[in-house]
């Protein structure tokens, strides 16, 4: 079974600082997704990464994918309070089945 690991599990950072969340997965996949979840809410799609070397940016978030290393990163630039949420990466296998990481709970402190 495909395993997906995220680190850190918990992240507390000050506004204005930069940080990176890491997502490692155990078997070959060319599709990786990043989602945001606010408390008690559903999942909001952030990025879809479909090939090795893919990089996507939206506002203060940038995601990248290295399929050879089986690693994706979500980089946060100059964090603001509104980014506080739980972030999940998910890897899709050839059967369109999604495997989610354990999530990273991000708290941005003023």
Partner 1 sequence: DAGVTQSPTHLIKTRGQQVTLRCSPKSGHDTVSWYQQALGQGPQFIFQYYEEEERQRGNFPDRFSGHQYPNYSSELNVNALLLGDSALYLCASSLQGYTQYFGPGTRLTVL
Cα distance between residue 44 and residue 89, in whole Å: 11
Q: Does 33 sit near partner 1 (CB under 8 A)?
A: yes
User: Residue from 13, 48, 71, 80 that binds partner 1 (CB under 8 A)?
Assistant: 48
71: its two tokens? 């690693």
Cα distance between residue 11 and residue 49, in whole Å: 23
User: Residue from 68, 69, 82, 95 that binds partner 1 (CB under 8 A)?
Assistant: 95
For residue 11, give the nearest of 72, 97, 101, 79 by alpha carbon.
79
| Interface segment toward partner 1; rule CB under 8 A; list 17-25, 51-59, 65-73, 100-108 | 100-108
List interacting residues with partner 1 (CB under 8 A): 1, 4, 33, 35, 41-45, 48, 88, 90, 95-103
């Amino acid at each position: 079974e495909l395993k997906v690991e995220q680190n850190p599990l918990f992240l507390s950072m000050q506004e204005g600082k930069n940080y990176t969340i890491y997502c490692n997965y155990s078997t070959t996949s060319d599709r990786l997704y990043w989602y945001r979840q606010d408390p008690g809410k559903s999942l909001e799609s952030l990025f879809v990464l479909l090939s090795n070397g893919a990089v996507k940016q939206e506002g203060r978030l940038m995601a990248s994918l290295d399929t050879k290393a089986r690693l994706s990163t979500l980089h946060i630039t100059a964090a603001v309070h509104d980014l506080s949420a739980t972030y999940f990466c998910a890897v899709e296998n050839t059967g369109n089945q999604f495997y989610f990481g354990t999530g990273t709970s991000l708290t941005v402190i003023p």
